[in-house]
Every structure is written in C-alpha cells, then in structure tokens.
Structure 1
C-alpha cells in the first residue's frame, strides 16, 4: 500500500487524531520491544497499532521507523562493543614493542567472544523484527491476502535488516580487522595440519599393512571434528554479519600462506629428492579436506553431478578422487586447481631462485630439475627462468675470478639440465649465449675442453656427470645402437619420428634461427663450436697427448688408445692420423726396448765396472719427428757414463733398424735415482736436468751458480730456476756468493728432517715428475701458431703499407687469395686475430675501430 499525502486533506479531525495516537503508541511500543533487554511482552500491543497505521497507508513509514530504531540500538549495544574487543590488538600492532601474548591468544578468546555477543544481539533484533512481521501478517490476514505475499513481506524485511547490519559494520570497519581474521584462520589451519600429520603417523606405525583406502578413511576430517566446528561457527557468524567475502578471503589467504610455508619446508635446499608429489598429497590431505568438511558443516556443498554446476572446462575433468568424497563439488574442483597452480608457481620460483646451485650439483640434483620441468609445463613461465638464470651467470660465474675449467663444467651441466627441461633447446640457446661469448674470450678454453675430453674430471672440480669423455663414449654407443637397426633407413626413420612428434616452436624462439638446429641437443657439437673448428681441438689434443706420452714412466697407455678410438669415430680417422702414429711410436718403442735388451750378452753385464750403468736400466721412447708436435730441445751435458750408455743403445738400435739412427733429446724423459746419506737413503723420479744437477755434487760438495751452469751447459737463469727443486727438498743449501748475482750451493749440513716435505726414512720413493716450473716438453699450440704465422708477417706488413688500414676479415681473405704456394695459408679467422693481437702487443701494429694499421 502507498500513502497519498494529498489524502490528508480529505481526513477528518477524528481520523487525524487516530493516526497521531496510533503513531505515538507505535513509537513507545517499538522502544519497549527493541530496548527491552529480552522482554518481548510488549509485542502483543504492537499488532493493533500497526493495523491502524497500515489502514491509513503508513506501512512504509512503520517499516522505516522500526528498522531505524533497530539500527540505532544495534550501533549502541553491539557494534561499538564489538570493535572495542580488538582495540588491544590494534594498539599492540602499532606500537614499537607489540604484545606477542595478545597476538597468540586472542583467536580462541576475543574473536569468538565478540562474535557470540554481537550475534546474540542480532538474533534478538531478528526476533523483534519477526514481531513486526507477525503484526503485518495479522493485518493482512484480515484482508484475506495470499500466503505468498505474506512470505514476500517477511523476506523483504529480513533482507533490508541484513543489509542494514552489513552497512553499519562495514561503515565502521577498522583497517586491521581483515588481518585479525587472517591470523585466526592461519593458526587454526596450522593446528588442523598438525592433527592430520599426527593421525597419518599413527596410521603408518600401527596399521602399516592396512589397505590404502582404510588409511585414507582414518585421515579424513569429519564435519563434526572440533576444529572444523570451531572454524565453521566463526565462518557462519561472519557470514551472518555480512562478512562472507571477507571471511572467504581470510581463510583463503591463510590456506595460501600455509601452502607456501609447506612448499618451502619440503623443498628448501633439498635438491636430491622430488617434492612435487608430496606437496600435492598435502594439498589433498589438509586444505581440500578442510574445505570439504567446512562445506558440509555450513551446508553449502554443491552436488558435482548436478547439471547446474556447469563444469565444462577440461581442467576440471581429470580431478582425482578426494579421500572420503565420492564426487567433489564444483567449488572443491576449483579450489584444487587454484591450490595446485599456486604450489607449482611457488615451487617454480623457489627452484628458479636456486637454479645455479641446482645445476652445480647436477646430476645429483636431477629430481629438482624434474620438478621444475613439471612446474614450467603447468605455468608456462619459461621466460622467468631464462632472465633469472642469465642474471645469476653474469654475477656468479662469468667473472675473472672463475676458472675456465669451472665455467666449462657449469656449461656442460647447464646443457644437460636445460635439455631435460626443454628438449627443443629454445631456451638453452638464450641461456648459453653469454657463456659461449665469455668462453671464446678465454685463452685456455681449448686446453680445458681437451682435458675434459681426454681425462674426464682429473682436477676434481665439477661433477662426474660433467665429463665430456663420458659424453663422447655415450655418443659413440648411440651411433653403434643406430647402426644395428637395419630394418629401415635411419634418416627416414628419424624423419618419420620427427614428423609424428612435430610441435610448433614456442613464442620465445628466435625467428632468425632455424628449427632444425633445435631438434637435437648435441653437447659435443656445442662445445666444439666454442673453439671455432675441430682442427684447433685436434691440434690441442695432439700437443696434450704428446706431453702425456713423453712423461710416461711405463707403457701403460690403454686409456689413451680408447680415447683416440672414440675421437676417431667422432672427428674422423684422417683428423686423428698423426695422433695414431704417436701412439704407434710408443708401442714400437716398447717392442724395440725389449729386443735391444734381449741382444745384450750375459757376459757383458757381469763385466761392468762399479760406476758403469747397465743397459737394462734404460728405456727409450722413440718417436717419428715428422708426426709429433715440435719438441722443446735444450742443450745438456750429461755424465760420461750415461752418454756412453746412450751411444751403446743407439748403436744397437742402428744394427736392428738399419738404416735408421737415433737423435737423442737429452733434456726429455725421466730419471730414477737414489741418494745415499749417512743415516738414510732416498729415491726420486725427476727430470734429466734435475738428475744432472745433483750428480755434479758427487764430484764436489759446493758449486757456484756460474760454474755449475757452465759444467752442465745451461744458462744461469735456467739453473737457478731448476736447482730450486733440490733446495726445496732440503738436499741442497743456498747462500750468497762473493758477487751479488752469484749464488753458492752446497750439500745441506745434517741433511733434512725426516718428515720434511713428505720425505721419509728408508728406501722410499718420491715421484716428482711434475715440473714445478711449468716448462713443457712440447711447444704449445700458440707457440706453434706464432712460428707458423711468422712467414705471413711480411705479407701483412706489405698489405698495410699499400692500403693504409684493413679490417680483420679483409686481411684474412687477402691472405687466402694470394698465399697459395707452400706453405699455403690455411689458418682460421680466430687464429689470425690471435696473431695480429701479438703484433699489436709487440707494437708493430695498431688497431682502432676494428681496423689494423702500421705503428707510426
């Protein structure tokens, strides 16, 4: 009914008096009911007054006044007192020294008490409102209105009242209240997680043989569980006050905080065990079961097979069964997807932040890599991995303090780890680019690569999984396995496989690089690409192999033969031909030594003098000079008896291998000698020059550096550097001579302490083959290149004289065009650049803006 103001003009004085009296009585009765402190006896007087006012069309005025009275009373008796309960928490959170006791204890006391008080007041006011509703119903029943209209009346009034309650609370809401709710739900969920973990442990201990379904039933959270009931009552009270959205946000935030903490606890710095499945099990065991129990307690669970759920997304279809839940509701399905995505993203960020350490520990950390792969497949945030890892590489690896060997090991581990995460190699191209650029600028990159190819992991740095020798062996095994498949052409078969599993390239791919380059990640090919060409690698390997073979104390080179065979398969037999001849020289040397010793008559051995050396003690390494790298030769005056021994060996060799003759490199090889003192004997294995130096002290016990250098036939600087070996062992003592640049060396008085420098009493042997000064028997690749390139220096000087200045590539192309006679120019661009850098350092050339020109 609507009240027409213009109808007042038609009312008589008696009707007006009736309206005024009824309104006055209605106001008094309303105050008595609402502020009656539980006394609703005045409700019986309300019905006739409401009927009188409604008769004159004042129903809306009656409703507004009653609701306004409820609002004022609710503000005074409930709202102000409700917020006062939390003022202590607010003051502690804003002070410099917060009251920890209040923060920890209030969820069980203050929040529950405050909600109980305000809900009691609200419940009483709803009863008061029902009295008004019944008054309307009594009036309308007299008018014979339909029941539907009566129910609508009650529904409208209750909705208006609920909106009023929500509006009053939200208008006075303090900013810290959402944080209070989050803290409450977080604490309760932590308690619930502890309870579930305890039940799970009890089940495992007492019923280890029980069926898994029975175990799940033991761990289920019932809607009647005390913690669920406590939380459910709080949620229900908050909903009734209009805080439904805020309460859902609060326990959702608590669930996500607890999940993040659980991920950090399970993962942390543990890389050797997978954790993703454990995280998903925890999600299903704690938050999802809690949400299901809470739904049942609140009575708002949605039937999964109800057509109104409208689940069409394929993401919801593969949901696994929940423990104790026949069919999960749509809400649970959505929660499961949200929680799993958050878990994937959290674990992904944790692993990406520690990816550098994870790759350092690879392959032991492969479970962490597998977890990261699954996370990235779910989230698709590969670009975050690329950006973060490149930043870590620049600040932690690609620095002057990191050795080239460590960088290479990390690069190999990075290739293997990212090959697991992204088999297409798209992201490896981006991540590996700064490493490749940095390694190309290191001078010892080739040497370190060859060491990794031939010796595996000799220095102990990196992991066993980083060995390129193992990768070379694995690559050969794969080739042999492919050769055994004769049923179908391997190229056709691989093409068919590629066609069946073809997928478009990711959006992050560089469009300038073809897809075929990313279909197979070849670690060896990527490493060789750092060098520029396989010829440079083969040359470096040849030098390293020569150094190793020349320092062999026996003829045990099976590992070198195996490595050479692997390299021949990978790089071709023609490339490794010289290296094969070097190994054959060692095999022939072993046979030749045996034949020469067998030709020595027994009588000659028995007739040797006391100071003579038996030919049986000599083992010679006979090499074919044309196939070995240049040997570093030094003049050396060896003792007469040893010189005679070498001549005798050379004569016997000539008799067996006519017309071939030996040309001795007296500075190379190893000498086993024994030093006899009054109280002890010591054995050493040293270089020939060290042996010659110490034998000179048999003739006299003291030498000046100049005289000793002249007697041995080497420069004084070389002597001072080499004799430090014996000084360091305590065999010789050094003092300053009459001249400042001359030193005196004598046999040390009283010898040395028994345990000094690892020397022990008795007939012990100390292997000292490692040349402490770092001198090599074979010229390095750089030295060979410098020597070979010297013949082109005049061509380069002439070109720059005629043209003034030239770029690197133009010099390179010009040399290739005109230097075709023997020796023809066959160097790479990198080798030419290295040679030109040497000329710049010698101040023969200058370089500016990429152009070379003569030094003025």
Structure 2
C-alpha cells in the first residue's frame, strides 16, 4: 500500500481550482480521509449520495488514491485508537490486582466480567463503526477498479478483520491472559454449579454458612450475580465470534482452563480409588460439563442455534468432544500411571482400574511412559535390602497377574519384570520361599496355581508359534515388543509357576530345594501320614515332568516313610524269644541313603543305655531284612521323656540332644559346658543353645559362667519354685517344636551342590594329569562329553568350583589355564 505517493498526490490536488477543492472536500468527508470515522454511521451520507461521490471520484480518476487514503485512515485508527483502548483495560486490571491484596469473591467475579465486557464491547462497537466505510471502499473498488493488497479471500471485510487480529496480536501485553482466565473461570463456575450439580445436595452436605452462599458466583444468595455473569458471558462470546477473534484471544485460555479442570477432576475422582471403573463416568462428565460448556461458548448452548445452523453446531460439538475426550484419556492414564505400583500391589481388588488403563492405552501413546514409571517405582520401593523376599515375590506375582490384564500378550510384563527377576535371582532364599509356597496349603496364592494341570514353559523351550501351519490365526506382535528379549509368545504368556521357574531357567534348582523341604518336613513331624506329600508330588510331576530324576528320588523318600511304618510295626509285633527285650520302645525312620539329601554334619554321643536299645533295634532289622543294616543318626529324631522333680513332673517331647543333656544331670547335679561337651560330643555353641531350653523350663540354672546346676524344685535359698510361674509344658513344647522346625536338619543348598560337583573332581584331575593345563571352556566341554548323569553344571558354576579348589591349593590358575600343583 503506497501511502507516501498518495500524500504527494494530495498535495498537488490542493493547489487546484476552488471547484476542485470543493469536490475534494466532499470526497474526503464521504470516505473519512480526515480520520473522523467515529462520526460516520450506517446510512448517514451528510446530504450526499455515495453513488454520486463514487462517480465523482471516477471522473477525477482518483479511485486508487481515495482507496489508499481511506484504508490508511482505517489502519491508523486501529493502531492508535481502537486496539490500545482495548488492551488498556487488561493492563489496568493487572496493575490493580497487584496492589489489591484481598477482594470479595462475588464482587471480584462481577468486576472481572464487567471489565472484559466493557473492553470487548468497545472493540466491537469500534469495529462496527468502521463497517460503513469498509462497505464504501468495497463499492469504490467495484465501480472504479481500484485495488488493494488482498491477503485473504473474502473481500475487504475479511481483510479488515485480518488487520484487526494482526494489530491486536502485535500490541498484545504479555500478561493479558490473567483477566481472561478469571473471566472464563467465573463463567465456567456458574455453568457448572447452575446446570450440572444438584443444589439440594449442596444444602445437605454443607453448613448453614455455606448454604447462604451461592456456589456459582460465591456471593450471598440474596445478591446472586449468576444470571448477570451468564448474560455478560454470552454477549462477550457472541461479539468475539462475530469479529472472528475468539480463537485468537481466548482459544488458548479456554483450552488451558479446561485441561486444568479435567486434570483436577480426574485427580480428585481417582485419588486412592482402584476398585471401581471410573472411565465411563468421566466420559459422561466431559460430554456433559466440558463439551456442554464449550457449546455455550461457541454456539450459545444446545438448542440456541437456528435450524439452518444445526449442522455447524453438530460439527463443533463432535470436534470438541473428540479433542477433550483425548485429553481425558491422556490425563486419566497419566494419573493412573503415577498410581500403578499401588494398583499392582492391590490386585485383584484393583482390576477395574487396570481395565480402564488398558482401554485408555489403546487411545494414547503412553506405553513407554508406563513402563519407565513402573520400573522406576519397583526399583525405588521394592528392590532394596529393606524389603523381605516374601514381599518381593508377592509383588512380582501380583505384577504378573495385573500386567496380564493390561496386556494379554505379555509384552508389558516382559519389559517391566526383568529387573525383578534379576534381583530375586540374587537372593539366597528365593527358591525356598517359592517351593514352600507351592506345597503349603495355607499359601493359596501359589498352591492353587500348582493344581493347574499344565506343563512348564521354560525360556529355552521351542516356540510353537514359529510353526506357521495355522497362519490364518497368526497376529503380529505390537511395535513395542521388539525390545523384548523373549521371542516366544508362549513364554511371555506362560503361567505364574513357569515365570517363577524361569527366574533361574532350570527345574533342577526347584526340585532340589523341594527335596530339602520334603526331608525337613518328614523329619520334623515324624508322622507316617504322607497323603499330603503324595498329592503335591503328583502335581509336581505333572508340572515338571515325570521323567525328572530328582522327582523319582522324592518318590523314594515318601516311600521310605511308608516302609518305615511297616518295619516298625513288624519289629514291635515280633515275638522272637531269643531277642533281648527292649527297656523302652524305639521307632525308627529308615531312610534310603542314596536318595535323600545330605544331612548336616552333627555329632551326639547318646548314653550307653540308649545306644544298647538302638543296637537291639538294629539286630531286629537285620533279622527282618537279611544282610542289610542301619547307620544311626542319633542327633535326629524326637524323644518322649518324663522329668520327675521334687515339686513337679514334666512330660515333654524333646530332641535327642536335649534328652541327652538332661539325662546326664541325673548322674550329677552340676556340669560345666566343657565337661558336658566332652561327654556328649556336642560343640559348646550348640550345647549352650540346647541347654537354654531347659533353662526356660526352670530345670537348669547357670550359677556361674558356663556352670549349670539342676534345680530340683528349689532355689539355692531353699525356697520352692512355683511351677505356675514358669512357662507351661504345652507352651514350651510348642516353642521347642517351632524352634526345631525353623532349624533345618539338612545341609544347605550350597553344601549339597558342592557335594554334587565333587563328582566332576576326579574327571578334572584326570584331564589335567594327561593334558597338563586347560582353560575353563575346554574343561566344561569335556565334562559335558564324558560325564553324563543327573548332575549338570553351567560354565559360571564350574568356574566358582574351580576357583574354590584354587583357594584350597588343589589347583593352580595361570594366564587363564588351570593345572595341578607339582608335588
């Protein structure tokens, strides 16, 4: 637009004739070239016909000049008068709100609405004032052929609106949104409490003071401003829509406000509540409240438009519904992701929340965020030494079940659970707890899983889906499954027991632990009832495979119990006159040494009287079994004894070591730890622990360090001991049994494994004798070739075994080669 040239031409016109000056005054006044746009009203022509004025302009060939000067006056008026006047209201409000510390909420809402309405109304009326001049310029263009720089289609009116938007944006203050945000917040509050919430519920739930306060405008009910706020709100929106300024000025403010409201509502609704599905109610809330209010903003409300504009209303409603529903799903999923660790722990009560998350994940792109957040929460809250292994395993089992609800394909579970598996693999008591839970009726979480008749799916098993015979039902993995290490879908969707076994990748580890637990259970209870153990053993055979050699050993162990019962019955019923009669009954649990795990190496020298009775039982066994004999483990078993004191008689069931200790106190009343250890062959530390039982019974007393005396119903002062004051016989018996149950009689898993690995030692010695020195990989390969049996060994385990031999000076390690030391 060439404003400077137009001004130069105007100067040349001014020096013309008087008639020409009069004509120019008419043109200047008709097109407000002097800047007096505010005096011009639609239809007011100052006695002049605008058509005649345009013909005059055409005769003078001044169409382009007049158009340029008129548009220049309009743009100048927008820049220097209209737009600054509009923004002045916002700047003044911000300055006033900074100096004002407190204000009444009701009056504040009205003030905000009035200020915004005044600013928009002034802007609207200023723009309307320019429309007659815009129409005249449009007629001038059509009749004279003058041209302007068209930036948008639609004629000069659209060009004027574009200029207005651009000028507003160029002079926009940085903090103008504060007033607009309060304006739309107040309008939304009135809409929400006036049309959505039930007023009667507010009266019932709030106090008298709150009942007198209007929830919409926060003013006293007799001074309610809700209707005024609504009317002002509708007026401002209508004017902004007509000027096409709604999105430019208020679009971001409205979006930010509604997103904040959605976030606040979702957070309040879903706070620590996982047992109910919330997404359907939230969807209805967004449709009713958020989209309903937006229809009021953009369309004047439902039913407010004419029939001709109903299609526009439907289109706006659908677009807004889709936009803010997407925002709802994103906000809900984000909120639940932050709570996901608690949701997983509380499964299955939290299944409704998990189903909601699953539906929302399909509509958002938050899977990676979910994985990262849950892994971080597990690492921070679960995988540290302060958490018991039992709690870690419970959380892992809950995670398996919960994440299967989120993703039945098992991809999310694989991505999240890998740190848990690595952590559990490093804890020594993981296997024992898993096996105990599998075979413990009180632990229904895993014992019920054992009842499912399905074989294990291990990580090294073949993936059946690679067979593409049934290709019509094949579905590809999700995109985010590419980072999973497990390739088989069947392994990702395996049952809980398979997932737990895959922590170690070997069934032998679990069956070995089960053998130890089974042995402890049999030898601690000394019961011949094996129905329960047989039942669990059958379930394990289904799960782990009947051909597993270790399970066969377990079968033999259970069979030994039944055989022991039969042998004891036979020996006790035998009336052989040549056999020496026993002074007290002896029953034995006869074990097949080759099939039972290793026992702890403990010694106990029983009294000669007891030893003689054991020999009598051995002779009876030889008579029954021919050339087979017995090797007694005297420290194992239970002894029923009667301890007779002056003031009381105790009938107890104790261990052989405890019975041997009290037996020796009937020979002499005072013993030192050292002397008693020499007689019983029990180490002093073990002996002191066993004596503590008799101290709790009030039978023995430590009169000086390591010196114990029999308390035969009286103290050293001659005062009688009240047997009621001490623990009851039943309670102490139970305590003793619990103590002995907690203390395993079997060797530790590490010791048992060390004994198994000794099978390799003779082969390793032979290799190194013939080949001088070998690396670890070569030794492992040769063992796999020549040692075939039930004992398997990984390279890492073999390295640990050989390193222990190096520390024991039975091997040398030089430059990665193992060799025998020279004699």
- Bin for the TM-score computed over the shorter chain: 0.7 to 0.9
Q: 1:82 aligns with which of 58, 65, 89?
A: 89
2:497 aligned with 1:524, yes or no?
A: yes
2:603, 2:681 within 8 Å by CA — same for their partners in 1?
yes
Task: Please identify, of 427-436 and 337-346, the stretch whose mean Cα deviation from structure 2 is larger.
Answer: 427-436
Correspondence 1:470 to 2:440: no
Q: 1:682 to 1:30 in 2, by over 3 A?
A: farther
| Structure 1 residue 548 corresponds to structure 2 residue 521 | yes
Secondary structure in 2 matching 1:509 = helix
Q: How does 1:126-525 map to 2 (within 5 A)?
A: 128-129=129-130, 159=158, 162-163=161-162, 165-190=164-189, 192-195=191-194, 198-199=197-198, 231-239=233-241, 243-245=245-247, 246-297=249-300, 329-455=314-440, 465=445, 467=446, 469-476=447-454, 499-510=471-482, 514-515=487-488, 517-518=490-491, 520-525=493-498
Give the alignment of 1:83-102 within 5 angstroms: 83-88=90-95, 91=98, 99=101, 101=103
Whether the 8 Å CA contact 2:524–2:741 is kept in 1: the answer is: no
Q: Out of 43, 58, 70, which is 1:63 matched to?
A: 70
Deviation at residue 80 of structure 1 after TM alignment: 5.6
Question: Conserved in 1, the CA contact under 8 Å of 2:637 and 2:656?
Answer: yes
Instruction: Give, in whole Å, the separation in 1 of the partners of 2:464 and 2:137.
Output: 88
Question: 1:708: Cα distance to partner?
Answer: 1.5
C-alpha spacing 1:191/1:302, structure 2 compared with 1 (3 Å): closer
Q: Partners in 2 of 1:300 and 1:156 — Cα distance? A: 32
**C-alpha distance in 2 between matches for 1:849 and 1:182:** 75
Give the SS at the match of 2:403: helix
Check 1:721–1:539 CA distance in 2 against 1; reply closer, same or farther (3 A cut). same
Structure 2: stretches of 5+ with no match in the other structure: 145-153, 205-225, 458-462
For residues 425-459 of structure 1, give each alpha carbon's deviation from its aligned partner in whole angstroms, at most 9, with x where no partner exists.
Answer: 3343333333334444444443333223323675x
Report the 3-state secondary structure (helix = DSSP H, G, I; strand = E; otherwise coil) of the residue aligned with 1:703: strand
DSSP 3-state at the match of 1:759: coil
Q: 1:566 aligns with which of 524, 528, 539?
A: 539
Contact 1:26 1:46 (C-alpha < 8 Å) held by counterparts: no
Preserved CA contact (<8 Å) 1:29 1:43: no
- In structure 1, runs of 5+ residues without a counterpart are 93-97, 146-154, 206-223, 310-327, 459-463, 480-490, 602-607
SS in structure 2 of the partner of residue 455 of structure 1: coil
The 3 A distance-change label for structure 1 pair 303 and 519 is: farther
Which of residues 812, 815, 818 in structure 1 aligns to 2:780?
812
Question: Using a 3 Å threshold, how does the CA distance of structure 1 residues 248 and 831 change in structure 2: closer, same or farther?
Answer: same
Q: How far did 1:566 drift?
A: 0.0
Counterpart of 1:211?
none
Instruction: Work out whether residues 670 and 769 of structure 1, in 8 Å CA contact, stay in contact via their aligned partners in 2.
Output: no
Aligned to 1:605: none
Q: 1:220: which partner in 2?
A: none
Please show how residues 761-840 of structure 1 align to structure 2 within 5 Å: 765-771=733-739, 775-790=743-758, 792-793=760-761, 795-796=763-764, 799=767, 806-819=774-787, 826-829=792-795, 831-840=797-806
- Shift in Å, 1:753: 8.7
Q: Residue 533 of structure 1: which of 502, 506, 513 is its match? A: 506
How far residue 18 of structure 1 moved from its aligned partner, in angstroms, is: 1.2
**Contact 1:683 1:764 (C-alpha < 8 Å) held by counterparts:** no
Change beyond 3 A, Cα 1:8–1:425: same
CA distance in 2, matches of 1:425, 1:305: 52
For the structure 1 residues 429 and 272, does the alpha-carbon distance in structure 2 shift closer, same or farther, using more than 3 Å as the test?
same
- Specify the alignment match of 1:580 in structure 2: 555
> CA separation of 1:193/1:689 partners in 2, compared to 1, >3 Å: closer, same or farther?
farther
Quote the Cα distance in structure 2 between the aligned partners of 1:411 and 1:524: 12
Q: Match for residue 16 of structure 1?
A: 20
| C-alpha deviation, 1:704, in angstroms | 0.7
CA root-mean-square deviation: 5.0
Aligned partner of residue 637 in structure 2, secondary structure: coil
Q: Residue deviations 1:522-556, cap 9 Å, x none?
A: 43333323334323322221121011111114344
Residue 578 (structure 1) shift: 1.9
Q: Is the 8 A contact 1:672 1:686 kept in 2?
A: yes
> 1:189–1:254: 8 Å Cα contact kept in structure 2?
no
Number of residue equivalences:
761
Distance 1:331 1:785 in 2: 73
- 8 Å contact kept, 2:121–2:239: no
| Residue 461 of structure 1: aligned partner | none
* Partner SS state of residue 480, structure 2: coil
Partner of 2:599: 631
For normalisation by structure 1, the TM-score amounts to 0.74
> Aligned partners of 1:818 and 1:247: how far apart in 2?
82
- Alignment match, 1:322: none
The answer to whether the 8 A contact 1:344-1:378 is kept is yes
Q: Aligned partners of 1:11 and 1:172: how far apart in 2?
A: 39
Q: CA deviation at 1:567?
A: 0.7
Give SS of 1:286's match: helix
Sort the Cα spacing of 1:306 and 1:84 in 2 relative to 1 into closer, same or farther, 3 A.
closer
Cα distance, 1:35 vs structure 2: 7.2
Distance 1:334 1:492 in 2: 46
Pair 1:113 & 2:114 matched: yes
3-state DSSP of counterpart to 1:251: helix
Once the two structures are superposed, what CA deviation does each residue of 1:545-588 show, in whole Å capped at 9, x if it has no partner? 01111111434443322211101112233432221222222233
Task: Quickly say closer, same or farther: Cα 1:642–1:234, change in 2 above 3 A.
Answer: farther
Q: Secondary structure at the match of 1:378?
A: coil
Change in 2 beyond 3 A, CA 1:695/1:584? same
1:193/1:661 Cα in 2 relative to 1: closer, same or farther (>3 Å)? farther
Alpha-carbon contact 1:50-1:62 (below 8 Å) kept = no
Question: Compared with structure 1, are the counterparts of its residues 848 and 763 closer, same or farther at alpha carbon in structure 2 (3 Å cutoff)?
Answer: closer
1:520, CA displacement in angstroms?
Answer: 4.0
Structure 1's 112 and 547: CA in aligned 2 closer, same or farther, altered over 3 A? Answer: same
TM-score, normalised by the number of residues in structure 2:
0.77
Shift of residue 723, structure 1, vs aligned partner: 2.3
1:663-742 pair list within 5 angstroms: 663-673=631-641, 684-727=652-695, 731-736=699-704
Residues 568 and 380 of structure 1: CA distance in aligned 2, closer, same or farther (over 3 Å):
same
- The structure-2 alpha-carbon separation of the partners of 1:443 and 1:236, relative to structure 1 and needing over 3 Å to count, comes to same
Is the contact made by 1:35 and 1:73 (CA closer than 8 Å) also made in structure 2? no
In the alignment, is the contact (CA less than 8 A) between 2:389 and 2:429 conserved in 1? Answer: yes
- Higher mean alpha-carbon deviation, 509-518 vs 558-567, is at 509-518
Partner Cα distance (1:305, 1:600) in 2: 113
SS at match of 2:405: helix
